[in-house]
Amino acid sequence: MKWGATLLLVLGLIVVFYMTRDEKQSNQTAPTSEVIVYGFDVGQGDSTFIQTKTETILIDGGNNGKGDDVVRYLKTLGVTRLTTVIATHPDADHIGGLDTVLDAFEVEQVYAPRVNHTTETYRDFLLAVKREGVTIKTAKSGVTIPSQSVDLAILAPVQDGTSDLNSWSAVVRLSHVDNTFLFMGDAPIRTEQDLLATGIDLTADVLKIGHHGADTSSSIPFLQAVHPTRALISVGEGNAYRHPRPTVMNALAAESITVDRTDRMGTVQYTSNGTIIEVKSRTDLRPE
C-alpha cells in the first residue's frame, strides 16, 4: 500500500508539473511582427507610409509632381498594392501626388474628410479614385480602419472644420503593442484643442508634427499631452515658408523631444517590434 500511495503521489506531481509548464507556455506572448513607418522625402509636402505583415497604408502623396517619387519609393519597398490610402485634406502638397499613386497601384479603400474643394488638383484626385472603382470613406473622429496587425484609428476631425482646409485634417493614431504613432496632417491648434477636450489618450512615441512645423500647430499643452520621444517633420530644404518655425523647434527642445527632419535625413524609417522603435535614414529613398 505504501508503494501504491507513493506512486500515486509521484504521478500527481508529474501531472501538476506539466500542467504548470503548459500554462506558462500558453501565457507567453507570441513573436510580434515588425511594423515599419516611413516619413517619405517629398520636399515641401507630406507623405507617410505604414507597412505591416498584412497591410500597406499610405497617408498623403506629396505635391503635384511628387507622385512619381512616391510610386518609386513604394516599388523599391516591394509594394504591389495598397490596402488603404488616406488623404488627410485637400491641400495640394498632401494630395497632389495621389492621382499618380492611385493609377499605379491597386487600392482597396480610400479615406478622406467630407469637405469639397474646387482646385484642379482635388478634381484629379477624385477622378483617380473613380478610375480605381472605389468609394471614398469619410475620415472623421471615431472611425477605425480595419487591420489585422495594428490598431489604426482616426481621431479627428472631431467636428466640422472651417474655411481653413487644415482644420479638416484627418489625424490618425497607430498602435502596435506598446508602440504608438500619431500623424497630424496639417491639423491646427484648433484641432489640438478639440482632441484635448475629448479626453482621449493622445500619448505617442512618435508624433508626426502638424503642418510641417508651422507655428499654427504644436501647442505646448498638446505636446505635453502626447509626450512623444521623437517628432517627425516633413519639410523641404530651404522652403519659402521657413518651416519648421523657431517657436516650434524651441517647444520641442523644451519638451526634450528628438526631431527627425526629412530635409536633413531624407526618408526617415521607424521600425517597431512592439516594444522598441529603431530609427534610421533611408538614403536610397530620395527624390530624383
Distance CA 184, CA 159 (A): 15
Neighbours of 183 (CB within 10 A): 29
Distance CA 5, CA 171 (A): 67
Are 59 and 145 within 8 A, CB to CB?
A: no
Question: CA quadruple 258, 179, 60, 105: dihedral positive or negative?
Answer: positive
Strands 48-51 and 35-39: antiparallel
Question: Which parts of the chain register pLDDT below 50?
Answer: 1-3, 5-31
Are 232 and 260 within 8 A, CB to CB?
A: yes
Q: By three-state DSSP, how is residue 274 classified?
A: coil
Helical segments of the chain, H only: 2-27, 67-76, 92-95, 98-104, 120-132, 189-198, 220-226, 246-254, 262-265
Q: Which single residue is written with the C-alpha cell 506629396?
A: 62
pLDDT (tens digit per residue) in 242-264 = 999 999 999 999 999 999 999 99
- What is the signed CA dihedral for 141, 225, 234, 74, rounded to 10 degrees? -60
β-partners of residue 62 are none
* DSSP state, residue 160: -
What is the reported pLDDT for 75? 98
What is the reported pLDDT for 55? 96
Amino acid of residue 258: T
Q: Which helix (H) or strand (E) holds 258?
A: strand 258-261
Length of the chain: 288
Q: Cα separations (Å) of 224 from 221, 255, 256, 259?
A: 5, 7, 11, 15
pTM, two decimals, is 0.89
* DSSP state, residue 98: H
